[in-house]
Structure 1
Amino acid sequence: MEKRIAGHFIPKNTIIIPNLYGAHHDLEVWDDPYSFKPERFLEGGGGSLRALIPFGGGARLCLGEAVAKMEMFLFTAYLLRDFQFLPASKEEPLPDLRGVASVVLKVKPYTAIAHPREQ
């Protein structure tokens, strides 16, 4: 059986690496994809959760996706509950959210202060 993606013939044993950065920054899918807007992932927030594929897809879909999402939510919630994250200094600009492209998109290094919240 001949395999095609978007009309292009894909020979057997071809390794395909999806462009997750491109998929997550598609102007036809995401409202203002280059801005930090976490509310886009809430219902009616201007994004398409069907187009969000941080855990891959198809036969190589991460089996731990459900556990990872739950743990990531709990870990982030505990951090935000217990700490206020502040820039290291008032003169230093906020981190650049564009990242560094490699096999995966990496955050650029920056310094922040995790100040404990009062209980």
Structure 2
Amino acid sequence: MTNWRAVFVGFVVVTVLGIVGLTVPGIGQLAAGLIGGFVAGYMAGGSLGSGFWHGLLAGSLGGIIGGLLIAVAVGIAGLALGPAGGAISGAAGLGIFALAATVSLVMALESAVAGAVGAAMSA
């Protein structure tokens, strides 16, 4: 059974550290996913599979929120540039979707592995 409290706390850790990690692009998001997944797996405890699952959920939620933030930033920038900017940001939408999906997948996988380690440490 899913421990939603552990998933939510892991998600908050991923999101907060991901925002702070923007100062070090790439590495900051990697660390955020690992630490958030570890926290979710540690809090959930149980088997490696349980930690993997909880880390996966926390990381994928964090990745989805990260992707949405990127999309909002590009949309606002497009609106600020007027009609031409709107067309440009609309065309960039497919690229943003692909980037958001990739970020979400990477964060989910690394968080899942860290969650399994966290569950092993809690036992």
TM-score normalised to structure 1 length: 0.25
Higher gyration radius (CA): 1
User: Which structure has more strand as a fraction of its residues?
Assistant: 1
After TM superposition, the score normalised by the length of structure 2 is 0.24
